[in-house]
Amino acid sequence: MATAAAPRSQPIESTRFFTIMAFVMSLVIIAGFSIQLALGRSSFDVPVAYHVHGVVFMGWIALYLAQHVSIARGNRALHAALGRAAYLWIPLMVATGITIMIVVARRTGGPFFFDVNEFLISNIALLLCFGGMAWWALRRRRYTGWHRRLMLCAMAILTGPGLGRLLPLPLMIPNAWLITTLATWIFPIIGIIADKRSRGSVHPGYWWGLGLYVATFAISMVLAYTPLGYAITEWVIAGTPGADRPMEAFLPEDFIL
């Protein structure tokens, strides 16, 4: 998201890169879910928590894109109004995101190609990282360089579910979660390369954004495989169908790619 407080002398075309990246990341997410639905691997016949989660997260994508389009067209009033809505939407994203992760873990144990503990612990940690980084980006809205780059890094975190549905993750066991996360880092890396080419140096917003993302992932993975991480996971899924599957990633006997 670009800031409404950018100097009026700033050329609108300078928003082009961030607008393109916003659409690319959004399309990756939408494509991942759409393809799985078209292949019959996903269904709308799920508990209400899934639908609430879907509406909230797709609403964020719409808000994210509208922010970029509005500032690219010079509509600063609309951009500012949408920015205020983001202050409410981000906590809603975090709340519904954590809820659906717990629901999925208890209902199925998560996707079979992920360890249950990494799916639950690392997923929640990364969602909190998104929320904190996106909120920081909003607070830095008067500093366009920071604002745009932090928001891009935050949005990159959300591309994980979309990318995961496009990758052959069952063939990547036991590293499916690691590979999915590494794949999302391509978006900040593209930003870093673009900065180097256009500015001659990389804006610190990328180093902070990607650095926080990498650090959160590393810490979450360490925690997930500690006795505490296992204990939290077992406590969450105790007495539910999610506890019936192995803690480790596995291939179902009837699996067909």
Using DSSP's 3-state secondary structure scheme, residue 158 falls into helix
Structure tokens at 256: 């067909």
Structure tokens at 117: 């503990």
Instruction: Confirm whether 141 is domain-assigned.
Output: yes
- Count of alpha carbons within 13 Å of 130, Cβ hemisphere only? 25
Q: What is the pLDDT of residues 122-164, one digit of tens each?
A: 999 999 999 999 999 999 988 989 999 999 999 999 999 999 9
Helix (H) or strand (E) holding 109, with range, is none
Nearest-5° Cα angle at 209, 204 to 215 = 120
Instruction: Confirm whether 252 is domain-assigned.
Output: no
Domain count, the chain: 1
Instruction: Confirm whether 202 is domain-assigned.
Output: yes
Instruction: Confirm whether 7 is domain-assigned.
Output: no
- pTM given for the model: 0.90
- The answer to whether 103 touches 49, Cβ cutoff 8 Å, is yes
- Cis preceding-peptide flag for 188 (omega within 30 of 0): no
User: How far apart are the C-alpha atoms of 226 and 179, rounded to whole Å?
Assistant: 21
Structure tokens at 257: 């790619």
> Residue 87 sits in which domain range?
12-240
Give the pLDDT score at 247. Answer: 98
Instruction: Confirm whether 1 is domain-assigned.
Output: no
Instruction: Confirm whether 3 is domain-assigned.
Output: no
Give the pLDDT score at 12. Answer: 39
Instruction: Confirm whether 66 is domain-assigned.
Output: yes
Structure tokens at 252: 């179902």
Structure tokens at 139: 């607070």
Instruction: Confirm whether 118 is domain-assigned.
Output: yes
- For the chain, the distance separating the N- and C-terminal CA atoms, rounded to the nearest angstrom, is 38
Q: What is the pLDDT of residues 6-19, one digit of tens each?
A: 444 334 336 899 99
Per run of 10 residues, the mean pLDDT along the chain (length 257 residues) is 41 74 97 86 82 95 94 84 91 96 96 97 98 96 92 97 94 96 98 94 97 98 98 98 97 78
Using DSSP's 3-state secondary structure scheme, residue 113 falls into coil
φ/ψ (deg, to 5) at 51: -70, -40
Chain centre to alpha carbon of residue 5: 26
Chain centre to alpha carbon of residue 228: 25
